[in-house]
Each structure stands twice: as structure tokens, then as C-alpha cells.
Structure 1
Amino acid sequence: MIDNENNVNEPAEEESFAELFEKSNRRTERLRPGSKVDARVLKIGAEWVFLDIGSKGEGVMERKELLDKDGNLTVAEGDTIPVWFVKVERNEMRFTTKVGTGQAGLSALEDAYRAGIPVEGNVEKEIKGGFEIKVGGTVRAFCPYSQISLRRAANPAEFVGRQLLFKVVEFAERGRNIVLSHRAILEEEERQKREALKDTLKEGTTLTGTVTRLMPFGAFVDIGGVEGLIPISEAGWSRVKEIGDVLSVGEQVTALVKRIDWENNKISLSLRDVQADPWEGIAERFPEGSYHTGTVARLAPFGAFVTLAPGIDGLIHISKLGAGKRIAHPREVLKEGDAVEVTVEGVDRESRRLSLALAATKRAAEEEERSIAEFRGKGAAQTKDSMGTFGDILKAQLDDKK
């Protein structure tokens, strides 16, 4: 009986162990050293933290990794944190948040290099070509200027003294030559944020962002860890000469997503498209024949553009600038920034065009027309009066003959 029972139970036990082993293998197959996952903190013990890594199973990491410099825990049970898979040890999946929280030796850095696990280091000082980084309190490494941030830093000294995460991009000469990159960490974070945005960000969406930097061609805006560009042509309805005239670094802006090119990582934004169209009701605001004062915005060989209101420019053709005389260029009569009075001669709402003329020239022409009309009127009256006098004389002569 006992033998039979054993004979019955043993295969079941062996099968159960095989299943567990197979499951364990399936879990580790999905994770390679250096794989990053989001783990939920299940339990924080005296030395170890137990993690739930979703469908991949459970893992552990050292408790000291979650302590700040004062020895206080930085997370609580139930929190979700990013971790990197290191290896399987004693049938446990070991994870880490970073290498370098303790006295990290060269072997740990070499493992981090091979597995792509980030390391924590302190920026000690500037040296030729970059920075000296100290990892784990003892190991010295080098980070080039080009690898400390996504863009070349205007003030490299601002990084000295900071504790940052780095990727080991070179480990040579048995650790005598270690090169680190903080930029690689930032690029990976940006890539993940971009991937997350792909599901939600669509062309035509209106969003809020922060201006991060200004360039001659436009302004870059942080829209949630990813930058979009407001071209200078999309900065407003008015013609913008310098982007700094309308935007500043740190300013919060509301913009419309104009175009998305995920393949080239380009997101084009527009401020103009979220502003009211100044050409609405243009015929009522600037009817033909009305007079207005504007500012000469720019000169072109064919005429002068005059700004009458924000986003509303009209054109005085060169043929209307010489007061009847032929001129070679509008600069002979006007210069940019001049305040001029103009009259509206034509409105084309569809083409967004206003045809203008100088008010003084228009008034002079109208005055000349009035003078000519008056002269003609007086001439006709005089002719009529003259004919009347001759008729009277002839009538008198006929009366005398009778």
C-alpha cells in the first residue's frame, strides 16, 4: 500500500517540480540582464524588498537601495518603481534600481556595462573634455561634455556636485578606462515618454506646454517630457521678426498640434491656430473708403506693407507712393516704422488682402477732382449767363424795329 501510494505520489511530485521549473524558465526567458520593468513593492523587509513584476513573476532587491542619505525609505509598500533585472541567484530573480548606491566595485561596474544597467555617480569636477565622475565612492570614470545632457550645456559648471544616473558606454583596460553617459539615460526616458504619447497625442489636439529654449527659427516647448517646435511663422497672426519678442523661456503656452512625424521625432505646434482670426469681420472693421493710421511693417520692391491691427497688414502698391511721380523703390518715400495714414481701396477676405493708398495722396486727388468739378460748373454757368445776355440784346433790337 505504502509502495503503491509512493508510486502514485512520486510522479505527481516530479511533475509539479517540472512545471515549476518550466515556469521559472519561462519567466527568466522573458527577462535578460539589463531589462527594465515597472515593479510593485509587495513587502519591505529588514534586508530585502519583495517585488511584483506582473506576469513575469516576483523578484527581490536589497532594501538599502531604497534608502535616502539619512537612512529613510523613499518608497512604501504598494508603490510602483522602475527596476532593472540583474540575474537569477538562489532561484530568485534579483533586481536593482541602479549600481552605485553602495561601495560599487569594478566587477559591479563591468556587470552594469554588459547588462546596460544604469549606475549612480557624483560629478566631481570639470576636466579636459568633460567631467570626472566618482561611482560608489571609489571608482573614477569620465563623462564627455557631449554626454552630460541632451544638448550642449551653456554652463557646464552647473553639473558639478550633482548626483546623476549614467550608462556605462565603455569599460576597458580592466576598469582603468570607464566612460559614462548621462545623455543615454535622458534619451531612453524621452523615448519612453514619446512611446506613451503616441497613443494619446493626435494632430489637431490642443495642449499646454512650457517653453524650454528659443532659436532663430522658433521656440521649443516641453509637452510632457517630449519637445515640440513652434516655428516662428506659427507664433502669431502678426509677422514676428524675433521669437523672443513674443515668447520667453519658462513661459506656459497653449498650442495646437499641427503636424506629427514620429519617424523623425518631430512635433510641430502652432500658437496662431488657437488665437482668434483677426480677418473675421474684416470688411466691417476696414470698409472700402475708410481712413486709418498704421505702421510701415516692411518694404518690398513692389510696395509697402502697413500694419493696421495685430495680424492685419495691407499693401500700398508702389504706383500709389510717388504722388503721381514714378519711383524706383518705396524707400524713397517711406521707411519701416513710419506711422502713416492710409485709406482702404479694396478688401479681399478670401485672399486676406487689403489694398491701401496714402491718405494724403488720396485726399489730394479728391481735392483736385473737386476743384475740376467746380471749375467746370462755373464755366457752364458763365456760358449760360453769357447766352442769356446776348438773347436779351437781340430781343430788344427786334422790339425797336417794330
Structure 2
Amino acid sequence: MAEEMNVFSVGDLVKGTVTKVEDKQVFVDVGFKVDGIVPISELATLHIEKAGDVIAVNDEVELQVTKVEDDELILSKKAVQAEKAWLMLEDVQRKDAVIEAVVAEIVKGGLVVDLGVRGFVPASHVERHFVEDFSSYEGETLQVKVIELDKGNNKLILSQRAVQEDEVEHKKKQTLQSIEVGSTLSGTVQRLATFGAFVDIGGVDGLVHISQIAHERVENPQDVLSEGDTVTVKVLSVDIDNERISLSIKETLPGPWANVGSTLNVNEVVSGKVKRLVNFGAFVEVLPGVEGLVHISQISTRHIGNPAEVLEVGETVKVKILEVNEVDNRISLSIREAQEDETRSQTKAYEKEHQEESSGFSLADMIGDQLKKYR
């Protein structure tokens, strides 16, 4: 028997047939008078309670010699599986490929899988979102990538999150390529910043700059938008290389000049705010986003050389509407005529009051005398 044992060396690979299965070891016929022994610890990568859980009599197995004595031949099934597994996993890592792994055990800090060697999926690499309870993952099949491999230290770290992130990036690029400039889409406000709002338009976020939120001036996006709002946006530009999309909410809304003709009437006097002063006059906002021109000749009843002599930006003034041109988005206004109308109105009121006082009796007195006739 000793002479037969001499043909074996530690590290040799042998093939054999299982002849007997006990709880803690397995006997294998490898073609010699004595059967080789496979201890339960050498049957599988992960812990097992009984050898019969993973192997049966007459199974054909490939084994590695781990110990040779005169009357004993110790073999390992796990070592052969591990060697093949490391070669496969090195190839997977080199190709950045995705493999399937069944969750065998839930441990503190993550999940354990069996890929011929023990693999570990840290809790932070199970999903893209936070998971509080991993109990439902036992027995589940994960799609994973190799993120760390150290054969010498028997270390294998895997990530399902990496696979999910790749899928998100792939979908993002597909979405970017499918979006057409000028198209109108529905989206959800994801995040607000001082300079605008980020809107999800199907797996990819686009920026609505603060100047593109509304026709009127917006001081802070939070004044008009909230996270979670559903909005309609127009695509202004798409930069696929830098993954940037410019969007506009303003472009999908009726312009401030829409139906101005039915809102503002010629000869009507309204209040407005001086927005800009120029050499030839002043621009006054009479509706949100709608400005009209007060020509320098219509600013004051006296001659002025520059509008700044009598007006300031931000000042509220009364103006009379002289003309509304919806086609050209133009409104002509007059401060002078508004003042003159007010003066005439005040003069008429004064004259009427003075006339009643000088006659010695009031309108009520006259009506009272007429009523006496019918008594």
C-alpha cells in the first residue's frame, strides 16, 4: 500500500467515484486499493452540516491531493472548484462582465454568495438605494460584477449596485440620443437650486435655468416651483458628450403679450412701474412681462431734455394707453395725458362743487322743492 501511495503527490489532480458518504466525510475510489477521503470541510466553499447535502454515492468527482501518508490519502473537492473559480473570476474581472450569484448567507455587513469560492457583497453594494433589512435576499439570484479580487488572500468582493449603475448610465445615454431639440416633454422637478431647477424627463435630468422658468422675472425658483411638481418643458439644447440638457418651462407657457388687446383698452389709465430709461423715453411695465413706451414728449407737460430729469427706475406711475399693437408687441403710453385727464377731472369736480355753493342751494334742495308739489 505504501508503494501505491508513492504515486501521489500533494497538489495532484485525480478523478474518482464516490463509494461511501458519511456525515463528516466521503470515501472516493481513485483506482487504488485504498479509497481516498474527502473531509466535509473540503467538500464545499461554504459551511455544510452533512456531507450528504452536497454529494451522493456514485457521483463522479475531480479532486486535489492535499495529504499523502502510508495508509491515508486526503483529498479536496473544494480546492479544485476554487482553482477553476479563480480563473473564471479573473476573466470576468478583466472583461468587466456581469455574472449571476445566488445569496447563500446573510451576515453582518452584507451578503455571502458561493461562486466556487466565497464571495462577499457589502451592504452598500447590494442596491443603489439604502436597504434596512436583508432577510428577504437569502436564496435570491443577484447580477454582480467583480470589484475586488485577491486570490492570495482568498478575497472576493462583488457588487450588484455597479451593475445597476451601468444600466442607469446606458439608459441615460439612450435617452440623451433620443431627445430632439425643440420637442415638448413632461417632467418632474427633482431638485431646486438658486440658479434654476433640475427636471427628470425620463431617466435623465435637464436644467431649467431661472431665466427660463417664467416670462416674468423670478427671484428664486422656490417661489414658483416645488420638488415633485409635474411640469411641461421644451428642449432647448442637448450635449450628449457632457450629458447636459437645457430645458425651458417659459417656452411652453402663453407669452405675456397673449390677449393683451382684450386686457388693456385704449384711453384707459393704468398704473405701471418704470423699468428702463432711454434717451427717447421710458419703458413702463403695465402687466407682468409687458412693457410699453412712454415717448419723451409724453412724459411731462413741460419740456424735458432727458427722462431721468423727472423719472426713476422702479417708480410707479399712472399712464394712459394711447395704442395697443398685438402684432408687433408694442404699446404706446402717456404719462402727460394721464396727468392732464386727472387734472381735468379734478377741475370739473371743483367747478361743480363751486357752482352749487354759489347758487345758495344744493341739488338736494332742488329735488326737495319738487317733491313738495306732490304732497
Name the TM-score, length of structure 2 as normaliser. Answer: 0.46
Question: Which entry has the higher C-alpha Rg, 1 or 2?
Answer: 2
Higher helix share: 1
